[in-house]
Chain A
Amino acid sequence: QKEVEQNSGPLSVPEGAIASLNCTYSDRGSQSFFWYRQYSGKSPELIMSIYSNGDKEDGRFTAQLNKASQYVSLLIRDSQPSDSATYLCAPYGGGSYIPTFGRGTSLIVHP
């Protein structure tokens, strides 16, 4: 049974702060890691993907991957109220063509 663990939150941060979202996974064979953002009442939207250990930056978003620790994180710099959403972590690979989605972390950015 593949497991993906995320703190359900809510994680509350002030506007302009750095939001740090964490995810651990059980399948050591996972090769690709995706972060999706889901606004309330909407469908998930891909915001970041990372495939190699280390950091990957895209605008205000940075994904960090440590395969040895089976840990992936998403940092959001200069958080905005529009970043308020649920963030889903989805490792992929390891012999399965079906991503395993975490339950998501709810982020609230307050003005």
Chain B
Amino acid sequence: GAGVSQSPSNKVTEKGKDVELRCDPISGHTALYWYRQRLGQGLEFLIYFQGNSAPDKSGLPSDRFSAERTGESVSTLTIQRTQQEDSAVYLCASSSSGTSWNNEQFFGPGTRLTVL
């Protein structure tokens, strides 16, 4: 079956512009995560969605970052007024259940964001 997809694969933007990144999880997966990975660094958790519950936004680095998810489908991560330090690969992962012990995550290919 289809895996997690993300778009765009690459995004180059100018400092101060807003960007929107999209994630399509595996069909039926109730849990969706967004991570940021700077060059040569580890995964940085941003936000977690589980079904129709309120998202866990504890990882969002500033109020310039926001994310939405409609039900158990597509999610969008929006970065307003982008800064150069926002340059990174943004990864989305989905899981069949984020509340069970068997929380195996499947990652999308990522969106490489470059802020000039």
Q: Which of A42, A43, A97 contacts B48 (CB 8 A)?
A: A97
Q: Which of A49, A88, A97 contacts B31 (CB 8 A)?
A: A97
A51 and B101 contacting across the interface, CB-CB below 8 Å: yes
Which residues of chain A are within 8 angstroms of B108 by Cβ–Cβ distance? 43
A43 and B91 contacting across the interface, CB-CB below 8 Å: yes
- Shortest Cβ distance from A104 into B: residue: B42
Which residues of chain B are within 8 angstroms of A98 by Cβ–Cβ distance? 33, 45, 48, 56, 58-59
Which residues of chain A are within 8 angstroms of B59 by Cβ–Cβ distance? 98
Give the shortest distance, in Å, between A25 (CB) and chain B (any CB).
14
Are A93 and B101 CB-contacts (below 8 A) given A43-B109, A88-B43, A98-B56?
Answer: yes
Give the shortest distance, in Å, between B52 (CB) and chain A (any CB).
15
B104 and A49 contacting across the interface, CB-CB below 8 Å: yes
A101 and B42 contacting across the interface, CB-CB below 8 Å: yes
A13–B63 alpha-carbon span in the complex (Å): 45
Give the shortest distance, in Å, between B50 (CB) and chain A (any CB).
7
Q: Check if A31 is an interface residue, CB within 8 A of chain B.
A: yes
Q: Check if B98 is an interface residue, CB within 8 A of chain A.
A: yes
A42–B107 alpha-carbon span in the complex (Å): 10
A42–B3 alpha-carbon span in the complex (Å): 14
Q: Check if B99 is an interface residue, CB within 8 A of chain A.
A: yes
Which residues of chain A are within 8 angstroms of B99 by Cβ–Cβ distance? 97
Give the shortest distance, in Å, between A84 (CB) and chain B (any CB).
16
Which residues of chain A are within 8 angstroms of B33 by Cβ–Cβ distance? 98
Which residues of chain B are within 8 angstroms of A103 by Cβ–Cβ distance? 41-42
- Shortest Cβ distance from A45 into B: residue: B107
A43 and B110 contacting across the interface, CB-CB below 8 Å: yes
Which residues of chain A are within 8 angstroms of B89 by Cβ–Cβ distance? 43
Which residues of chain A are within 8 angstroms of B106 by Cβ–Cβ distance? 46
Q: Mark A53-76, 1 if CB is under 8 A from B, else 0.
A: 000000000000000000000000
Q: Name A79-102 residues within 8 Å CB distance of B.
A: 88, 92-93, 97-99, 101-102
Closest 4 CB pairs of A and B: A43-B107, A103-B42, A101-B43, A97-B98
7 A-B residue pairings within 8 Å (CB atoms) = A43-B107, A43-B110, A44-B91, A44-B107, A97-B98, A97-B99, A98-B33
